[in-house]
Homo-oligomer: A and B are copies of this chain.
């Protein structure tokens, strides 16, 4: 039996994954657990049991433990729908938290709202918390952040607010193209070839209109010129990132971009930007998430 008891619990509950942290005094992380029981696979009444299974051992049976959650758990198809803040706005507003109905008296679950933009229409759920956490750690920050992922977000930050943002579903495209099109016969699952990635970034950036042709070429090159599977996979990754970096030019050209995402993906973005003359540095995704949820927890208890 675990003897870890949480002061409060942080949860990042996305479409495909759930991550939970037991937090102690002074925001110390006592324990971490994750599950692939993402929002998309759960009915409304399944969220509480899934949460409890992950965090129950961290609860003190004699009191109520607060759970602060962000992500798609707050979408219409999630546990309980939270409202959207509308840009320009602070990324996280504690007056807009939504409480989930729970049967277990030992927990109280607060969900943070997402952020939407009207024109052009755009939405985020989860990234606003990471942006809030990053701003907490960089109070005077004005500039551009990019959150690589299934749906990568580029956001302009000014005086603590998200002024505008733009989502690219590059990660999701990579997934369906490499697993559901004829290219799956030519790509590897894991391998990497740095030269192919870099050539892909340049070609995608310079000729975004040819993307549907460059994708087919991965198959043709494997048949005609023996392109190997690692090369094909890395070229695919580079091509799609290059096209995104073309479309996101207004964000990164002339700016030093802060990348907040998994190390692997953030490194790809960092290298892609570097090839094209862009500047960026990485900021820890976990730090951003926990700092965001922590500030929400603190303000909740001060108010």
Taking the closest CB of chain B, its distance from the CB of A108, in whole angstroms, is: 28
Q: A173-B181, A176-B176 are in contact. Are A225 and B166 (CB under 8 A)?
A: no
Q: Give me 14 other A-B pairs in contact (C-beta within 8 A), A176-B177, A210-B247 excluded.
A: A120-B221, A123-B219, A123-B220, A166-B213, A167-B213, A169-B181, A169-B215, A172-B182, A208-B209, A209-B243, A209-B245, A209-B247, A209-B249, A212-B247
CB closest residue in chain B, given A172: B181
User: Among the listed B123, B180, B244, which residue makes an inter-chain contact with A223, where contact means beta carbons less than 8 Å apart?
Assistant: B123
Decide if B121 touches A170 in the complex (CB within 8 Å): no
Number of copies: 2
Interface 1/0s, chain A 161-194, versus B by CB < 8 A? 0000011111011001100111000000000000
Chain A: interface size category: 35 or more
Which residues of B have CB within 8 Å of A217? 120-122, 167
Question: A204's closest neighbor in chain B, by CB?
Answer: B209
* Cα distance A172–B240 in the bound complex, in angstroms: 16
A→B interface (CB under 8 Å): 116-118, 120-123, 151, 166-170, 172-173, 176-177, 180-182, 205, 207-213, 215-217, 219-221, 223-225, 227, 240, 243-249
A122→B220 contact, CB < 8 A: yes
Q: Are B122 and A243 in contact (CB under 8 A)?
A: no
Q: How far is the CA of A245 from the CA of B223 in the complex (A)?
A: 26
Nearest B residue to A220, CB-CB: B121
29 CB < 8 A contacts A-B: A120-B220, A121-B217, A121-B220, A121-B224, A121-B225, A121-B227, A122-B224, A123-B219, A151-B216, A167-B220, A168-B212, A168-B213, A169-B212, A169-B216, A173-B215, A176-B176, A176-B177, A176-B180, A176-B181, A180-B180, A208-B208, A208-B243, A208-B246, A209-B244, A210-B246, A211-B247, A212-B244, A213-B247, A213-B248
